Structures are given as structure tokens and as C-alpha cells.
Amino acid sequence: MSFVLSPVPEGTAAGGDPIAVLGVSGAPDPFRGAVPAAAEGAPVPGRPDPGATAVFLEGPHGGAEANPVPGAPVEHLPSGDPPLCNAVAAALSWLRGGAARTAVAGTTAQPGGRLLLKRLSDARAAGETVLCLLELAGEGRAARTGVTGLLAAVRRFQPPQSDSAAPAAPAAPAAPAAPAAPAAPPERPARTPAPERPALAGAVPWPVSGRSETGLRTEARLLAAYLRDHPELDSHDVAHALATGRAAAEHRAVAVGTDREELLAALDALAAGHDHEGLVRGTARPAGGVVMMFPGAGGQWRGMGGGLWDSSPAFRESVRACAEAFAPYVDWSLADVVRGRRGAASLNRVDVVQPALFTVTVSLAAVWRSFGVVPAAVLGHSQGEIAAAHVAGALPLPDAARVVAARSRLIAGALAGKGAMLSVPLPAAQVRERLAELGGGLAVAAVNGPATTSVAGSPDAIEELFSRLVDEGVRVARIVSDFASHSAQVDAIRGPLLDEVGPLRHRSTDTLLCSTVTGRVLDPAALDTAYWYRNLRQTVEFDSAVRTLLSLGFSTFVEPSAHPLLTAPVADIAADTGTEVHAVGSLRMGESTAQRMLTSLAEAQVAGVPVDWAGTCASRGRIELPAGPLPQQPPHRIAAAGPDAADGSDAADGSDSATGLSAPGAAGSGFWRAVDRGDLAGALGVVLPALSWSNGS
């Protein structure tokens, strides 16, 4: 078995990009007497040389997806051959500092397999010949025992003069499934022009990924080296290129920083396997749909939206829309409260904090949406359920604002100063037993987890419960609240609340609503005025609602809030059910910056949530980055090197242990050690003798 190379016929290259054609043949010499069928016409059935030819053209926007041009699928490969060693070409590309931008992607040497050769755009202007190498499995040698010395050189061909693209032929049959699929679907946002203004200004994300932890670290090391060699590249342009030009593999990381040096330092830490404050890493898994969860009170802080007001157009526009919706009900500036401006109304007032928290959570959801993160399901804790219903599309903004305003105004006028609340780290059943022993005046306000329960009641009754629990050694905590929501005290405002809210509109939606009033999925038609009274009066069944969502297969939870309050309870509930989840916040106390928000987006993306980074920054110009390496030690390299290779032995691949170089005709560990060191001379010292041997020179 061997490979046959030829230029694509004149006029078939899209945009004038140089194209290489790779065919499979039975000829012993890959460079002599072979002309692919694509260059001659239709393949000759049953003729191994050159009847089986795979011809591929790089996608029009530089993506890894390939459009087939006339040519036949690979049909004459013996079954059982290992996959092609496609990391060699990528490694050489990086060693050349991007000048040889050839990458080989997603190929297996199996019947129906495909090989994609990307263009050498950086080398095109210089007119130089660039070589990239592929290892081939020998016909007479078992795949697990080694690799033959036969090497195929992928040569750069001069592009045709015409810029017109040849019509694409019908797609060839799909290649066989890979042995191990990525843990999450590949993400490749369409390469669109950079926006005129960034979705978040003030920080930049550099997303990188690999099919293994080693591959991820290698990607970071080589990218950092390349960018240091090219200081003229703007960090925003790099971010846009990384966001739009590469699919996300399962091992992921995102460097987040406000300047180039911070970003490079994060890449260095990733390459070294160290932590860094500007680095987020993780392994993606199938995320399914995203649940957005909206907390009630408790996460507020002065200036909680000030940073995003300045840096996020989506956040700012949402705050303005909310301010307009609340305008008929408040006599203070909602935008000033969100921004924490001097003279703004105090967040200590319940009739201020509830509209402000609604606005911040809804506006943070708009920021997530601006990055392509749209909820498949929502739930809200207490008043957070109003925001959840609105974000889901079930409750129009004017109606939602009316509910929040009436609720908070009536609480301030009739309930404030008459109650108190506790958080008790015990199961709800045990808490109810203690409440029954103490008599009336107390109620379970919320069941937040398997062993987290909130209690509301009169100040005296709460104080008595607090003292008893402390005596028992229970680490009870006071909740900052002077009213007893979700208790009998709320009965006093039932009539006024129903009257002030009045009839509400509701809309059907594709987003699933899980009610914390019932703990079950809710029909949007049930969101009438009486429901919102029950939302304030009845126990918050947060634990039951989360369990319902887990039973439906949801495992990714995003909390658009000024400070994470629900991520820990979700983790506790999931652990109690034996379910693996990923819960992500948005802002943190004292951190309302673009960098904090990008970090939260990165935490979601590395876990498998598709995040559209393309709108992050306004690119100043489109740039091309060198193709990153595939995993440094792909499984077929280990198999081909024999059983000793797994423990680090070099003997199985024919290398000279004294020199670190491989014998001619074998791509051994000496090459890979040179790649690890960034040693171009050492790598070529292995490659060129083998190439000369295989070319008969």
C-alpha cells in the first residue's frame, strides 16, 4: 500500500488556494508513475493504481469541513490498518512557526476513509516547497508491531491562476465512525465578520482545546511561542481567529485577560500544568440543554451591575428596557441603583432591591444569550421565578415588572419589620419535627437541598428556634430579612396583591418551566395572578424542582445572578441523586467586570456548553493562525510502536536510543522529542533522511 500525490486539475481550487490530492495505490513508490483518477477522469473499477483516489478541497472559510471535488472514495485499503499518523504534519507546521500551514484532520486508513489537506497559505506568496509527512502501515506487518519506513510527502503545489471554484460533486459516503467520539459535540461557529463592537469590552478570551490533556497543553505551549514570535498580532484578532477557525475538542481551556501579557501568562501556566487566575480548564461532556436558574433575594451588592453596564451592550440595553417597564411604579432611577451611582436609592429597601435584582438577573441572562447560551429550561427561587418566566418567554416584561413592583411594595408596606428567617442545615422533615414541638408562628419557607431548609416566622419564634438549634450543636445561620415570606404572615396581603397585579398575559414557549411552587413542570397558562400569590405564600420547593429537571436529563445549570446562591444547593441535590452536574454562576460579590463574566462563560464552555466567542471582540483584521497539533501521542502511535511504547520505551519504533534519531524510514520517538523541545533542526534530522530514502534519492 502507498499514497499517490498530484495537484488538483486547473480551476478546481476554491479561491486560488493550493490544493494537494492524496490517492491510495498499490504501487510501491508513492512518487513515480501515479496519476490520481481525479486528474484523469473517472476511476477504473478494480484497478488499485490509481483507481482509489480521495480528493478534498478546504472549506471556503478555512474550516475543517471539506467539500469533495471529483474523485472516488478510498476503497482498496486492507482492513485492520491503523489510522494515519496525522499529528506529524501539524507538528511540522508549528515548528515552522506557521509558514507551513498544513494540517491533516480526521482521517482513518479504513475503507471509505478520508484525508483533508489544508492549504499552505503562508507559504504561497514565497513560492517555496513545503513538505509534510505521513506514516503508513505496511501491508505485510501487523499494525500493532510497528510502522514501515514508507513515508508519503505532501507537497505544496502552486495554486491555479483562476479564482473560480469548481462545482462540488455529490458528497462521498461518510467515513466510518471514530473509535472514541468526543464527549461533547464539536463546536465550530460560522466564520463571520467580526462585530463592530464587542459583546463584552475590557477583557479577551483565548479558547484552546485538544483531544487529550497532553494535546491541550501542547496546543497552549505552541500557541504561546507562535504569538511571542509574532508580537504584531493583536490580542483581539487572535481571539477572533481562535473563536471562528477551530472546532472545540473535549479537553478545553480558556485564557481570559485584559492584556496580551496576562493571556500569554495563562497559556504558559496551561502548558506547564499549573493553575492561573486567568485560566479556566475542563473536560467537555454532553451538555444537553442548559437550565437557567434565578435566585430570589440575598445576592445584592452596591454597584452589582456597574461594570457590565460599561462593558456589555446586551446588559445595558436590557437594564434600560427594564427601567422603562418599572417606570410607572417607581420614583427612583433603576439604572442608577444597578450601577451603584452616588445618590441612588438604597438596596436596604425591599421595594428597591427586588426590582433591582429582577433587572440584574434578566440582564445577565441577556449577556449569556448574546454568547449563544439560550436556556432549554428555567426555574426560579421565590421572586426569581418571575424573572425565570420572563426569560423563558412566558411572561411579557411589562407584566413581570407589574408583579415585582406590586409584590415588593406590599411587602415593604405590610410585612417589613414583622418577621425573620433562618437557614438550617437539616433535612426538611427533621426541621418540621422541631417546628411542631415549638408550636405556631414558624413555617418551612424553602427546601433548598437534601439537608438545607429555610424557616420563616415572627422574630420571637425565630429566636427561640435559633437558641434551641445552637444548643443542639446545629450550625444555624440567620438570613438577612425582616419579613417572613412563605409563611402565614403573607396571608395579610393576598387581596391587595391580587388586585394590584390584576389580569396577566402569558405566552406559550418552547422553554420548559419547572415550578418551585409545585416542584414540577408547569404549563405557562398556569401563570395567572393567583399563581404569583402562591409563589410568595407557599414553601419554595427548590429541591423537588431540581430533582425533576435531573430526572429529565438536564445536567448543566447556569445562574445569571450578581452572586452565586443556587450553584451549591444544586450540587448538593445532584450528589444526593448520584448525578454529575455542572453549575456555573455569572458575577461575584465585588466583581462586575467583563473579565468575571468571560470567566463564567469559559467555565460553561469547558464543561461542554456551546459558547459563541466570535462576538467577544471587535477584530481589527482577520488573521490566520497555524493549525494546532492533534494529540501528541495518538492511540495508533502507541499501538504501532508495540507494547513497549506505552511505558516510554523507544526501542519499539526503531529509534537510536543514543542519538534520539530514528533509522531512515521510521518516524520514531526522536522526531517527537524534537517536537517537544521545539527543535526544528532535530526534527528535520529525523525527517529528511527518511524522506530521501522513501523518494529513492
The answer to whether residue 468 sits within a structural domain is: no
Report the SS3 class of residue 23: strand
326 CB-near residues (< 8 Å, 6+ apart): 334, 355, 359, 401, 404, 405
Q: What percent of the chain has pLDDT over 70?
A: 61
Kindly report the backbone phi and psi dihedral angles of residue 7, in degrees, each rounded to the nearest multiple of 5, phi listed first: -70, 150
CATH of the domain at 504: 3.40.366.10
CA atoms of 85 and 76, how far apart (whole Å): 19
Residues 575 and 661 in one domain: no
Q: What is the dihedral of CA 559, 561, 563, 569, to 10 degrees?
A: -30
Same domain, 679 and 533: no
Pair (59, 172) in one structural domain:
yes
Give the total number of structural domains in the chain: 3
Q: What are the helix (H) ranges across 419-458?
A: 428-438
Mean predicted lDDT score pLDDT of the chain = 72
Cell for 418? 414583622
Q: Would 42 be classed as within a structural domain?
A: yes
Same domain, 11 and 103: yes
* Judgement on whether residues 54 and 124 belong to the same structural domain of the protein: yes
AA identity, residue 383: Q
Residues 510 and 573 in one domain: yes
pLDDT at 624: 81
The per-residue pLDDT for range 579-608, each reduced to its tens digit, is: 999 999 999 999 989 999 999 999 999 999
Answer whether residue 226 is part of any domain: no
Which stretches does DSSP call E strand in 366-409? 377-380
Residue 541 shares a structural domain with residue 677: no
| Continuous H helices in 578-621 | 594-606
DSSP states along 71-127: -PPP--PPTTPPPP-THHHHHHHHHTTTSS---EES--SSTT---EE---HHHHTTT
Per-residue pLDDT tens over the stretch 464-502? 999 999 999 999 999 999 999 999 999 999 999 999 999
Q: Of the candidates 548, 572, 588, which is a domain's last residue?
A: 588
In this predicted structure, what is the pLDDT of residue 442? 97
The answer as to whether 283 is a domain residue is: no
The rounded radius of gyration (Å) of the Cα atoms in the chain is 31
Q: Residue 576 belongs to what H/E stretch?
A: helix 567-577
Q: Are residues 577 and 682 in the same domain?
A: no
State the residue range of the domain holding 654.
642-697
Q: Do 502 and 651 have their domain in common?
A: no
The C-alpha atoms of residue 128 and residue 327 are separated, in whole angstroms, by: 67
Same domain, 144 and 36: yes
Residue 414 sits in the same domain as residue 561 = yes
pLDDT tens figures, 31-50: 222 223 333 333 333 322 33
Q: Which residues pair with 209 in a beta bridge?
A: 252
Residues 27, 152: one domain? yes
Q: Cell 510497528, residue?
A: 146
H helices within 273-333, ranges in order?
A: 306-311, 313-326
- Which residues of the chain are under the pLDDT cut of 50? 1-194, 629-668, 689-697
Is there a domain that residue 94 lies in? yes
Closest C-alpha among 260, 299, 355, 375 to residue 591: 299
Q: Which burial class, exposed, middle or buried, applies to 179 when counting CB atoms under 10 A from its CB (0-12, 13-18, 19+)? A: exposed
